Amino acid sequence: MGRNSLHRILSTVLILPLLMFMGFACGDGKSSQDTTKDKKQSQNHSVVKYPGYKIINEFPHDSTLFTQGLFMSEGMMYESGGMRGQSRLVRYVPGQPIAQTHQMPSYVFSEGICEVGDQIFMITYTAGKCFVFNKKTFELEQEFNYFGEGWGIEYHNGKIYMTDGSSVIKVINPETFVLEGTINVTMNGNKVEYLNELEFADGYLYANLWRRADIVKIDIETGKIVAAYNMAELYERVSYNPAIDVLNGIAYHETEKVFYLTGKLWPKLFKVKLGE
Ligand SMILES: [Ca+2]
């Protein structure tokens, strides 16, 4: 989870789409003589779409925030920043100064956040703790312990979804934080590692991938990636700042049906319409 140079990031920007294409192309190129084999293959592999996207607007973003979690609620953006000694929970209206901050203890490396009713759940990188804050006051109300690393977190329909940098999404009970199941994420039959920040939108779970410019759209019933978006254009628009790290923030505005995207130490927050 360390910082990466811009060169390293940009050098990986084009790799995943190429692999995606190769996987897709290999699947398509198989012989149609064995219809049984083809049928089995079509059941195992989903067709990944690349619908593209449109950048609608960009706003200034606090470039001291090592963005780890992002969600929007009632017009307000909630964001967690990581790194020990700098970890914090903030909220703001996009384009306006930060309105509220809760500084975390220096031993904490904050990771993802999500909204659960009138509370905010915040997981941590290696501390094995999930902190639960009052959404309005940012007061700490509860803590849970869990095993393993915490990367991204999202809440949907009574369940918590959590990543740890692997290809597996944990499904967790929000009342107890007990693990109830797992989702193995695959693309063209291959597992996809480094799942990071998460966001539910219109029934699908979106994730960005660590050290990639890609956002993937996951069907949680099957774990299959059904669409992928290469966000290289966002990197190009912030690359004038040599301090920038990876893209790592996805928030969905349900009414406008647009995504807000940013990254670690990025000076900009983007409003983006993802194609379907
Ligand atoms: Ca999110």
- Ligand 1: distance of its center to the CA of 273 in Å? 16
pLDDT digits (tens, 9 = 90+) for 130-142: 999 999 999 999 9
**Residue given tokens 């109300």 in the structure block:** 141
| 201 Cα: distance to centroid of ligand 1 (angstroms) | 10
What pLDDT does 46 receive?
58
Q: Rounded to whole angstroms, what are the CA distances from 235 to 6, 9, 66, 112? A: 9, 9, 16, 21
CA–centroid distance, residue 32 to ligand 1 (Å) = 42
Q: Give 70 Cα–ligand 1 centroid separation in angstroms.
A: 4
Question: Ligand 1 centre and the CA of 79: distance in Å?
Answer: 9
Distance 38 CA to ligand 1 centre (A): 37
Contacts 24+ apart (CB under 8 A), 131-139: 131/104, 133/89, 133/102, 135/73, 135/78, 138/89, 138/100, 138/101, 138/102
Q: How far apart are CA 240 and CA 223, in angstroms?
A: 36
Residue 90 CA, ligand 1 centroid: distance in Å: 14
Write the pLDDT tens digit of every residue in 148-170: 999 999 999 999 999 999 999 99
Distance, CA 200 to ligand 1 centroid (Å)?
8
What is the pLDDT at residue 35?
44
Residue 114 alpha carbon to ligand 1 centre in Å = 7
35 DSSP assignment: H
* Alpha helices, H only, the chain: 6-13, 15-29, 35-44, 232-238
Predicted pLDDT of residue 7: 44
Whole-number Å distance, alpha carbon 74 to ligand 1 midpoint, is 15
What residue spans define the domains of the chain? 6-30+38-274
Question: What confidence score (pLDDT) does residue 5 get?
Answer: 44
- Read off φ and ψ for residue 16, nearest 5 degrees: -65, -45
Tokens of 255: 């009414």
Distance 251 CA to ligand 1 centre (A): 5
How many Å lie between the centroid of ligand 1 and the Cα of residue 261? 9
Burial class for 128, CB neighbours closer than 10 Å (0-12, 13-18, 19+): middle
Planar angle of CA 13, 191, 202, nearest 5 degrees: 75
Q: Which amino acid is at 193?
A: E
pLDDT, position 38: 46
- φ, ψ for residue 37 (rounded to 5)? -60, -45
Which of 21-35, 111-125, 169-183, 249-263 shows the lowest per-residue confidence on average (mean pLDDT)?
21-35
CA 81 to ligand 1 centroid distance, Å:
13
Confidence of residue 1 (pLDDT cuts 50, 70, 90): very low
Sheet of 153-156: strand order equals 153-156, 159-162, 168-172, 179-184
Nearest to 119 by CA among 104, 93, 141: 141
Each residue's pLDDT tens digit, 72-125: 999 999 999 999 999 999 999 999 999 999 999 999 999 999 999 999 999 999
For ligand 1, a single-atom ion, the residues with CB < 5 A are: 70-71, 199, 250
What is the per-residue pLDDT across 44-63, written as a single tens digit (0 to 9) for each?
555 899 999 999 999 999 99
The pairing of strands 247-253 and 225-230 is: unpaired
**pLDDT above 50 (res 15):** no
pLDDT of amino acid 45: 56
Distance 153 CA to ligand 1 centre (A): 7
For residue 196, the CA-to-ligand 1 centroid distance in Å is: 10
Q: Give the per-residue pLDDT at 36.
A: 45
Q: Token match 């949907």: residue? A: 156
Task: Calculate the dihedral angle through the C-alpha atoms of 276, 248, 13, 52, rounding to the nearest 10 degrees.
Answer: 10
- Indicate the helix (H) or strand (E) that contains 141: strand 140-145
* Diameter of the chain measured on Cα atoms: 64
Could you tell me the distance, in angstroms and rounded to a whole number, from the CA of residue 68 to the centre of ligand 1?
Answer: 9
Interval between CA 69 and ligand 1 midpoint (Å): 6
Q: What is the pLDDT of residue 2?
A: 41
User: Under CATH, domain 6-30+38-274 is a member of which superfamily?
Assistant: TolB, C-terminal domain (2.120.10.30)
